[in-house]
Each structure stands twice: as C-alpha cells, then as structure tokens.
Amino acid sequence: MITCAEAVKQFWQYLDGDLTPKQRRRVDEHLGICRQCCGEVEFARLLRGVLDDQRSVDELPQEVRERMERLVRDLER
C-alpha cells in the first residue's frame, strides 16, 4: 500500500489519466482507505478546473486589438 505522501505526488497525473494501470490501481487502493486523500484528490480536480477556466478568458485590450488590426492592414498592402 502506498503512503499518503506517495499518493499526493500522483493526484494530478491520476486525474489526467497519465498513470500506468499499476500506479492507478495503487492510488485507487489508497483512496479506498484514506478519507484525507479523497479530499486532496477532489481539491486537485478543482485546481485543474481553475486552470481550465483560463481558457474562457477574453482579455484582448481594445488598444492592442487596434494596433494589431493596423499591422494586418499594413501587411496586406
């Protein structure tokens, strides 16, 4: 059985689906008996969501947009 410290190191990869079947089985076994680590893995899921949420940001400042539009017009001249 792996320890909490060993499990914690692997939670992001566990959620990413990047562990080998053997590693995944060990993490699953650990989660089956460790409530603390169940909380950890759920928190890791939320953290991944925080990063994923950056995808929906539309932050192009108007002045940058205008400068880039001018550049594109100049390139096509």
Which residue number, 2 or 8, has a Cβ lying nearer to other proteins? 8
Q: Are 27 and 19 in contact (CB under 8 A)?
A: yes
Cβ atoms 44, 11 nearer than 8 A: yes
Classify burial at 51, counting beta carbons within 10 Å of its beta carbon; exposed 0-12, middle 13-18, buried 19 or more: exposed
Can residue 20 be called a binding residue for other proteins (CB under 8 A)? no
Give 17 or 21: the residue with its C-beta nearer to other proteins.
17
Instruction: Give the binding site for other proteins (CB under 8 A).
Output: 5, 8-9, 12-13, 18, 39-40, 43-44, 46-48, 50-55, 57-60, 64-65, 67-69, 71-73, 75-76
